[in-house]
Structure 1
């Protein structure tokens, strides 16, 4: 694989905390575990992991639990961040750290790429180009999981893409602290965040989800999970919702997740 002499991309702020990406990791292990077990020498990349390697270490542990043969490579532009990862990698078989960027300097096309809180600093056009660049480097069966979350991981939204483009969008929240589903809007990926306006599909989805949340208010006596499940079921009457495993159904909804097809939120272009 051809390698650039200079990493492609910009250094991120590097903010990270333990368990910040637990929701995305849990979802990825559940929905992509079969894929990771089905290919020879599966490789997962954690792109732009930040100032600490902790979330890459957690990513490695959670995915190896469902795909023991998986190798994980953490990639960062900043040399000091790479050094911090290399200082601990010997303790984690199958985990390594390299310097790089969107060019993905690994020895084979990855089965999975995770890029969280990486594209927030780019403009929308650059984010679309990054999606194209990253998906072109995937294994033919591979996926890209790209999204954003808040500082402690209570609110997150991510898009799953394959080499043909975006396939699904997942909204995930810590339900006891959620006031309304549209509180997730600030976590929309860069390709969608500026589209949360009247006339765009993502705006309609979130507005209707808020209405469904209000309708489901009586379920709050049974807890936030019951209210979320009822709201998702109400939303499904008017919007396409992934309602079957592994992406949907009550087992996923009770975790504070909602996954919809990309077509449910795709921007008007």
Structure 2
């Protein structure tokens, strides 16, 4: 970061826990792994706004190194004290630095993935497009911004996948054990959607259709919640552009094309 410049953004509450972002990491190391494999040079992955503890950046490096052993994970925080707390954990492929949505990387490098979880949730919705745009400008050609939200221990998570050209998908991921209905994840929708979960909006309709299909699949619950979720997703796929397959549905995860759930233009 140039001398005298200030990170772009505001300090978040910083709450974090081990394995809180497992669901998203599993997705990055699964359906999105091609982005890492395609990179000729070691891909750079940023954990943006990782919070009071650097544990999520450490876990991200561990998980993505199974896909690309030479991956470089950079934890970026706007709070100098949080950066200082991460520095003792630095190792080959993992480092920490001060910054915000401008995503400062050494030598002007560009990230392949920027994961920003539970960051924009604490901003006004009107600030989301600007934050996305700043990160999009920094991405590699195949790069991805993941703007997500989850509960305190990662049982329920949602995220928007944003490429350089704009958002492409919304993923809902939830622990199946104890799940009452899929729309329970609504309170963890990303900032770009959470205030649009009202009648007449696409995201509300999508969640209602998930709940309806979940209820109709109740008999499959005799074979377990996983089978019930599979049946639900298969039914919903007839009317909604789901971008994943049963291999992801088995994990309690479903991804839908962004245009189908994007807020109605005002």
Could you tell me how far 1:41 is from its partner in structure 2? Answer: 2.4
* Superimposed CA distance per residue, residues 122-166 of structure 1 (whole angstroms, 9 cap, x where no aligned partner): 111101211111111111221111110000000000011110000
Q: Note the residue ranges of structure 2 that are not aligned, 5 or more in a row.
A: none
Contact 1:3 1:105 (C-alpha < 8 Å) held by counterparts: no
Structure-2 separation of matches of 1:30 and 1:126: 30
Cα distance in 2, alignment partners of residues 4 and 202 from structure 1: 42
Report the counterpart of residue 12 of structure 2 in structure 1. Answer: 12
Q: How does 1:1-269 map to 2 (within 5 A)?
A: 5-39=5-39, 40-90=41-91, 93-107=92-106, 108-242=109-243, 248-269=244-265
SS of the aligned residue for 2:177 comes to helix
Task: Provide the secondary structure at the position in 1 that maps to 2:95.
Answer: strand
Q: Tell me how far 1:2 sits from its aligned partner.
A: 6.7
Over residues 218-242 of structure 1, what are the superposed CA-to-partner deviations in whole Å (9 max), with x where a residue is unaligned?
Answer: 0000101000010111111221112
Partner SS, residue 32 of structure 2: helix
Worse-superposed segment, 29-38 or 253-262:
29-38
Counterpart Cα distance in 2 of 1:177 and 1:64: 32
Q: Secondary structure at the match of 1:113?
A: strand
1:245 is matched with which residue? none
TM-score, scaled to structure 1: 0.95
Q: Distance in 2 between matches of 1:122 and 1:31?
A: 29
What's the RMSD between the two structures over aligned residues? 1.2
Worse overlay, 145-154 or 231-240: 231-240
Residue ranges of structure 1 left out of the alignment (5+ in a row): 243-247
User: For residues 258 and 102 of structure 1, do their structure 2 counterparts lie closer, same or farther at Cα, with a shift above 3 Å needed?
Assistant: same
How many equivalent residue pairs?
A: 262
C-alpha distance in structure 2 between counterparts of 1:71 and 1:65, whole Å: 12
Output the CA distance in 2 between the equivalents of 1:192 and 1:116: 15
Whether the aligned pair in 2 keeps the contact of 1:3 and 1:103 (CA below 8 Å) is no
Structure 1 76/43 Cα, relative in aligned 2: closer, same or farther at 3 Å? same
Q: Which stretches of structure 1, 4 residues or more, deviate above 2 A after TM superposition?
A: 1-4
